[in-house]
Structure 1
């Protein structure tokens, strides 16, 4: 069980919550802060003070005062009117992350929400009740209003949830459990929806999947090295220490580990003096992507523990400030940066695929790895598919954060588009995973032609692991099935199943 404090949630804990369905509990000191903040809101309501978000309208309506008798209706109208997300829902794992992150932010005690609401959010996490949240419709400031409104609807018994493998109405799941939906009090609707948790939740899932993919790209590239009689001198530690990037040094070290004991790789001058860049520069290219992952990790872990709603309540309610912590610019930049790192893992993978299948480049392997060149096309069109995915990623890599369209009658005149960036990064990770799945398919076949018994022991293990569900290419077949099997297997892996923490020095 992981304790949420609002202060120190990290990506490893999120991995456990999202991938191992770890449960959570709430820190008692944090709940004390929450209670004090709530008392301040109740005092403001009693005394009739005018404070944005408590007894005023929202956005351009911030100058409209709301009577105390209408405070409950104000919160319900807010989340209903703002629940205008559209498109396909976020995947369930992202929805779970969104609940956890919103809960963690509210535990900081700056939002004026009741402990009862936080306990209900924790119940949802621990009983796998995940809101169905449309993925489109957020500008990323004032936070992720539309997605988080769909989350908030579930608390009041509206909207839909995933539960036990089905999508069902929220009122039905509460009824089945004998629990009454909540009635939101003053400020609670705003506290629930004014934040960056949609982009950050998608960003967290993106990072965890991208980290695993970056590790997977190394053994796949190593197997390609074997299939092409690659030169290992380029991975000599002195080369990478001379440049000084720790991530580059780590990739080179891990590549040599994968290739240790291989009889298929070569040394300088044995077959040729040097390899093409897609082989020789693996530590430099992949290492640069690891540098991006390090930057993105830092920003995500700050945002995961940030107070991002408005207004914020300080000094037991004596100081209430309308600010702009809901603006998603830091995560928008981080997601756009992550897109570049993922794009390059796929770009260089596609170039290695081309070398594996091209008879002018593949060091004597059959043309297109075909078992009967001419009669059978082999992996010819797999390279086409990889090229298509890489090209699609190039269009998705356009930064979402450079765009801004004013909203709320120009009151909110600059927005981040961070959620669009996070969604596109997720799409690019899926595309990149399939490109690397194609490289894995071709590398498995190429190394088989060279002689499985000559592979390094570690790569023989990988060969056996994947051959258990992807047979050798002894004749043409519908290869899309094979690629999807590999892709699904890769998606279900975690970084820790590839390397121990001691082995995987990068981005710790």
Structure 2
């Protein structure tokens, strides 16, 4: 895992771990050379405008209205961009997503090719140093011309308009600014367009989803090893020779990790010669996940550290370039792929849970892992909920990145819907944690109702931690909170092992 410093310095590399850190106040230091470059670019824009150049968003209307002149003053031009975009709908995005998006936008603007003023960067950095988070509705962005609508709410909140959260409480943005000790930000048209014309929400949501699913991948390997050990299965299916012959290096890496976790296990000798695929094929499935996450991670890293905006200004080449660097197709594809691999890990976890509660396949443990079947029901309700979670997760695998709909007067005639893809991946990541928490709770219950304690030290340590955190289901009690506790325990286990 990436180390997360208490202070973030720009320039540098923006990572999913830093996006997660931005959920809480984080200090962002802007190096002097960054502010110098931003100021020089801003001066270049001013010179070009003074020379009479037509520059999108500074002298023009927006979108298909580019052929019409914009408003006469810089402040009015900011209102021109922000007000017509303040049209989102739906529930608010979680504040941690909005704060991560603000950090991602800051990172892009700090590269000094967007023409915004230095106070914009300083305001974003100051915001991130507090508990302030703009209130942003979930629906509105196409991820095509940047995340226009959600980022308009971010810009508006920084001006003291709309609503915001402070320390988790929703209130008018002006009140939240005062509470946070922040000053309302004055913007002109170039600043306003620079704040909204990038895919920061898309990249941030995808980055947060990736960070969660990377942990869940490590959790899936851990739970698969613990299940194998508790059942007394022979780990021969993890043979290094076997996986080398398979030809996929990530499958070999997954098998190596499973062998490490199962080092010291003692098979019972009572299991079938060949285990079900939910055990026997775990290195192949989770290896494929590892390979996919490697590719997805490279795409998201490129996006987080590139410049998402239009137009771009290159003072060093004395040129202004109008183009499409706000088009979020790379992350849209990557986020849809992330949802796919997340769902397949969910399929695996649900099947492993089903195997563990079935007395015909679990080595004779009681049905539903109930201490007194009929009078007690063990994890029966947990499995029912897991089935519902998985069904909902499967429905989410319909890709967003190919749902293109012409809009905006056919200016945006092909669009990637990257924001929906990324938020969908983030939802899927949360669902996978619940499924893993459900399986972990069942594994903990299995050793209570007669299942053997793991014989591999690493697997035994996992069970001991779960036993310490969660009481046995005896008698029946509500288990919704225990599933979430188990998921958090698993996160801590894999973070320590990273």
Q: Which band: TM-score by shorter chain? A: over 0.9
Q: In the alignment, which of 188, 191, 198 is matched to residue 188 of structure 1?
A: 191
Residue 301 of structure 1: how far off its partner (Å): 0.6
Q: What do you get for the CA RMSD once the two structures are aligned?
A: 2.1
Range that drifts further, 77-86 or 402-411? 77-86
Q: Distance in 2 between matches of 1:445 and 1:439?
A: 10
Range that drifts further, 230-239 or 389-398? 230-239
In structure 1, the partner of 2:61 is 57
Q: 1:479-494 to 2 correspondence within 5 Å?
A: 479-490=479-490, 493=492
Residue 235 of structure 1: how far off its partner (Å): 1.3
In structure 1, the partner of 2:133 is 130
Q: Distance in 2 between matches of 1:271 and 1:375?
A: 29
Does structure 1 retain, via aligned residues, the 8 Å contact 2:447–2:453?
no
Q: In the alignment, which of 21, 42, 49 is matched to residue 45 of structure 1?
A: 49
Residue 495 of structure 1: how far off its partner (Å): 4.8
Q: Distance in 1 between matches of 2:179 and 2:395?
A: 46
Range that drifts further, 113-122 or 455-464? 455-464
Q: In the alignment, which of 3, 6, 15 is matched to residue 10 of structure 1?
A: 15
Residue 360 of structure 1: how far off its partner (Å): 1.5
In structure 1, the partner of 2:360 is 360
Question: For residues 125-158 of structure 1, what are the alpha-carbon distances to aligned partners after superposition, in whole Å with 9 as ceiling and x for unaligned?
Answer: 1223222211211111111111111111122111
SS of equivalent residue, structure 2 residue 336: helix
Q: 1:204-215 to 2 correspondence within 5 Å?
A: 204-215=207-218
Q: In the alignment, which of 221, 237, 256 is matched to residue 234 of structure 1?
A: 237
Q: Distance in 2 between matches of 1:131 and 1:494?
A: 33
TM-score (norm 1): 0.91
SS of equivalent residue, structure 1 residue 182: coil
Q: Distance in 2 between matches of 1:488 and 1:12?
A: 17
Does structure 1 retain, via aligned residues, the 8 Å contact 2:265–2:454?
yes
In structure 2, the partner of 1:496 is 495
SS of equivalent residue, structure 1 residue 400: coil
Q: Distance in 1 between matches of 2:326 and 2:493?
A: 31
Matched, 1:409 2:393: no
Question: For residues 356-376 of structure 1, what are the alpha-carbon distances to aligned partners after superposition, in whole Å with 9 as ceiling and x for unaligned?
Answer: 111221111112211112333
Task: Go from structure 1 to structure 2 and tell me whether the alpha carbon gap of 1:440 and 1:179 turns closer, same or farther (over 3 Å shift).
Answer: closer
Q: Distance in 2 between matches of 1:78 and 1:205?
A: 28
Q: Distance in 2 between matches of 1:381 and 1:178?
A: 47
In structure 1, the partner of 2:279 is 279
Q: 1:123-162 to 2 correspondence within 5 Å?
A: 123-162=126-165
Range that drifts further, 346-355 or 448-457? 448-457
Range that drifts further, 431-440 or 162-171? 162-171
In structure 2, the partner of 1:329 is 329
Q: Distance in 1 between matches of 2:22 and 2:220?
A: 23
Query: Gaps spanning 5+ residues in structure 2: where?
Result: 1-6
Q: Distance in 2 between matches of 1:354 and 1:172?
A: 51
Matched, 1:90 2:89: no
Q: Distance in 2 between matches of 1:494 and 1:231?
A: 24
In structure 2, the partner of 1:503 is none
Query: Gaps spanning 5+ residues in structure 1: where?
Result: 501-508
Q: In the alignment, which of 251, 255, 267 is matched to residue 252 of structure 1?
A: 255
Q: 1:269-418 to 2 correspondence within 5 Å?
A: 271-316=271-316, 318-418=318-418
Question: For residues 384-414 of structure 1, what are the alpha-carbon distances to aligned partners after superposition, in whole Å with 9 as ceiling and x for unaligned?
Answer: 3222221211110010011011121111111
Equivalenced residue count is 492
Does structure 2 retain, via aligned residues, the 8 Å contact 1:139–1:417?
yes
Question: For residues 18-40 of structure 1, what are the alpha-carbon distances to aligned partners after superposition, in whole Å with 9 as ceiling and x for unaligned?
Answer: 36754221122222221111012
SS of equivalent residue, structure 2 residue 469: coil
Q: Distance in 2 between matches of 1:174 and 1:385?
A: 41
Residue 449 of structure 1: how far off its partner (Å): 3.8
In structure 2, the partner of 1:506 is none
